[in-house]
Structure 1
Amino acid sequence: MASNSLNNNKESSSSWTSMQNKQFEKALALYDKDTPDRWKNIAKVVGDKSAEEVKKHYEVLLEDLRRIESGSVPIPNYKSTASSNNIIDEENRLLKYLNQKL
């Protein structure tokens, strides 16, 4: 089942704080795929991560996205509230951004 792969990915990314993930997202927008030393620059923004760890985190994120888009992982049916709508909007924005990078 695909969730096993996602669980493994979660384990490898569990040492990332929510702040580091937010900094990672912002740095991805700042340093695109054509930026020299992209992973090194993103690692500096994130802090306490190597360029290799940052690149691996990105690869895991892309793999999760591919699995979700292929239908291997069901998207949860969230109850609609004002705060969950904001979360869904943010997720959609990130998915759109990542799709542009593929």
Structure 2
Amino acid sequence: MASSSMSSSSRNSASSWTAKQNKQFEEAIAMFDRDTPDRWHNIARQVSGKSAEEVRRHYEALEKDIMKIETDQVPIPNYKSISNARGYSNDHRLMKNLKL
């Protein structure tokens, strides 16, 4: 049970990151590589309002997502076709425009 509550809390913390914080995080990750002493503390100093533990967890969550994507564990979204006024689906219209 602890692991399921942990994953939901990490999801909640991931969703509480602002676009600005994510940008700061990305820039800090580029500055401080794996060999940097006190890496998470250095990164946290660059990200407003986040602790070293929060940036480490954020990084680990992103790593897990990337691993799932790279191993094809993320399902491809099933986009529904949207019909236009004439009743043609977008797929049909796009194919017609591409002359396929």
TM-score (norm 2): 0.64
Q: Relative to 1, partners in 2 of residues 1:52 and 1:7: Cα closer, same or farther, differing over 3 Å?
A: closer
Structure 2: stretches of 5+ with no match in the other structure:
1-6, 79-100
**C-alpha distance in 2, partners of 1:9/1:64?**
12
Paired position in structure 2 for 1:24: 25
For 2:44 and 2:70, the matched residues in 1 are separated by 27
Kept in 1, the 8 Å contact 2:10–2:57? The answer is: no
The structure whose RCO (Cα within 8 Å, separation 6+) is larger is 1
Deviating above 6 A after TM superposition, structure 1's stretches of 4 or more consecutive aligned residues are none
| Shift of residue 7, structure 1, vs aligned partner | 7.5
Q: How does 1:58-97 map to 2 (within 5 A)?
A: 58-74=59-75
Q: How many angstroms does 1:11 deviate by?
A: 2.5
Q: Percent identity?
A: 58
Q: Greater helix percent: which structure? A: 1
TM-score w.r.t. length of structure 1: 0.63
Structure 2 partner of 1:12: 13
The structure whose Rg is larger is 2
1:47, CA displacement in angstroms? 1.5
Question: What is the number of equivalent residue pairs in this alignment?
Answer: 73
Q: Which residue of 1 aligns with 2:95?
A: none
Report if the CA contact (8 A) 1:68-1:75 is conserved: no
Q: Alignment partner of 1:54: what SS?
A: helix
Residues 40 and 51, structure 1, Cα contact 8 Å, conserved in 2: yes
Cα distance in 2, alignment partners of residues 76 and 12 from structure 1: 24
Q: Does the 8 Å CA contact 2:43/2:52 hold for their aligned counterparts?
A: yes
Equivalent position amino acid for 1:36 in 2? P
Aligned-pair Cα RMSD in Å: 2.2
